[in-house]
Amino acid sequence: MAVNKAKGTYDVLPSESFKWQALEHKIREITAQFNYLEIRTPIFEYSEVFHRQNELSDMVTKETYNFKDKGDRNLTLRPEGTAGVIRSFVENKLYVNDPLSKMYYIGPNFRYERPQKGRFRQFVQFGVEAVGSNDPMLDAEVIELAYHFIQSLGLKGVSVRINTLGDQASRKMFQDALKAHFEPVKHELCADCQNRIDKNPLRILDCKVDHRHEKVVNAPTPVMYLTEASKNYFDAVKRYLDQNDVKYVLADRLVRGLDYYEHTVFEIEAEIEGFGAQNVLGGGGRYQNLVKELGGPDLPGIGFAFGMERLLDALTQENIVFYEEQRLDVFGIAIDETHRSYLSQTLSLLRKEGYRATMDFNGKNFKTQLKNGLKTNARYLIIIGEDEYATNSVSLKDTTTQEQVKLSKDELINYLKEMRR
């Protein structure tokens, strides 16, 4: 019986993986410029890392993959990157030696969502977390990193939308205002939102069911309830963004889907044809309590995450070539079975010099080897027949110019080096 991939998953095939590698390479380049180091955490964690008392987002309450292992432990496949990174930050006491930890990650997350274009059950995020500072200049720098990344990829129709939720006091006033706003129409909202009014009314603002309800459309916005200190904080963030030429738009309704955010929140949106509802490439924000919630000291953090699939889609949609062609240097052809081991030895020599080289392993005749060799798009074919074998040489055919030369093995290496120049 043929077995298919699980619903909501996809394969990256060998002919496509170089695009992922190229994007990952770009990420490593840009994060290095801002002095972020990679952190790799497990894809499953004890459930309490994600299922925390104050975390009531759909993503955590409804979409996580939870299971018990044979030791009766409750585990969860990570639905997002931040909580695991912070768990590790706390467990490894990274704050002891460094007043600010700048970390990035690239890895799969799992959410039980309805699969559709740009939405999978296993998807990969690239994200950063900077933990340990309350400086608004850091918020600006994190947004600058996201912006710089998008710019350097050459994506055009992309905008950075920013907002602030303010500090805890602001958030509390905003929440109270939302409660008062929604209470009179409670019975008109979906069952989830009815629950959210008391528990976390912010979640109503990005409810997928009620988003067209008049009261949702006209809901109060965080900016109306900012304390003086929160306002000053956000002003500073904007000032630093302006100063560093980071283009953004103010989005006063943006609240983001997670419960731990305070102060600065932002999203990166692509106005790219065919993207429709899945046009958010990434987003993030500042979190003041997460480190403490996970048992660490009272340290704030800020971070963002991009969805890699959507980034790759956007790049493809805009016809941006962000990778170098990975071309085979040599495909070797043996005219006769008896020349194969000589060919294999020749290719081994080339590989020791750093060339990419392969040959036929299916006992194909000369004609088929030639056809398959051309299909690989190799720069050169090496052909070994009786004559080459007898004189310890090779025939090298340039697949672009169709020129063919006969070379001794020593000459071969020099010739390829010369051509590479």
Residues that bind ligand AMP (CB under 6 A): 80, 111, 113, 118-120, 123, 125, 257, 280-283, 305, 307, 309-310
160 close to 266: Cβ distance less than 8 angstroms: yes
What CA–CA distance (Å, rounded) separates 174 from 168? 10
What CA–CA distance (Å, rounded) separates 172 from 85? 27
Residue (283 or 296) nearer to ligand AMP, CB: 283
- CA 196 from centre of chain: 30
* Nearest distance in Å: CB 114, ligand AMP: 9
* Nearest distance in Å: CB 107, ligand AMP: 12
Residue nearest ligand AMP by beta-carbon distance: 307
* Nearest distance in Å: CB 335, ligand AMP: 50
* Nearest distance in Å: CB 256, ligand AMP: 7
Residue (17 or 377) nearer to ligand AMP, CB: 17
Residue (145 or 333) nearer to ligand AMP, CB: 145
Residue (120 or 287) nearer to ligand AMP, CB: 120
Mapping DSSP onto H, E and C, the string for the chain reads CCCCCCCCCCCCCCCCHHHHHHHHHHHHHHHHHCCCEECCCCCEEEHHHCCCCCCCCHHHHCCCCEEECCCCCEEEECCCCHHHHHHHHHHCCCCCCCCCEEEEEEEEEECCCCCECCECCEEEEEEEEEECCCCHHHHHHHHHHHHHHHHHHCCCCEEEEEEECCCHHHHHHHHHHHHHHHHHHHHHCCHHHHHHHHHCHHHHHHCCCCCCCHHHHCCCCHHHHCCHHHHHHHHHHHHHHHHCCCCCEECCCCCCCCCCEEEEEEEEEECCCCCHHHCEEEEEEEECCHHHHCCCCCCCEEEEEEEHHHHHHHHHHCCCCCCCCCCCCEEEEECCHHHHHHHHHHHHHHHHCCCCEEECCCCCCHHHHHHHHHHCCCCEEEEECHHHHHCCEEEEEECCCCCEEEEEHHHHHHHHHHHHC
Residue (127 or 373) nearer to ligand AMP, CB: 127
Pairing of strands 74-77, 37-38: unpaired
* Nearest distance in Å: CB 119, ligand AMP: 4
Residue (123 or 182) nearer to ligand AMP, CB: 123
* Nearest distance in Å: CB 393, ligand AMP: 54
- For the chain, the distance separating the N- and C-terminal CA atoms, rounded to the nearest angstrom, is 52
* Nearest distance in Å: CB 255, ligand AMP: 12
Residue numbering of the annotated binding site:
80-82, 111, 125, 129, 256, 260-261
Residue (285 or 300) nearer to ligand AMP, CB: 285
* Nearest distance in Å: CB 372, ligand AMP: 37
Residue (158 or 382) nearer to ligand AMP, CB: 158
Residue (42 or 257) nearer to ligand AMP, CB: 257
What CA–CA distance (Å, rounded) separates 145 from 128? 9
* Nearest distance in Å: CB 111, ligand AMP: 5
Residue numbering of the annotated binding site for L-histidine:
80-82, 111, 125, 129, 256, 260-261
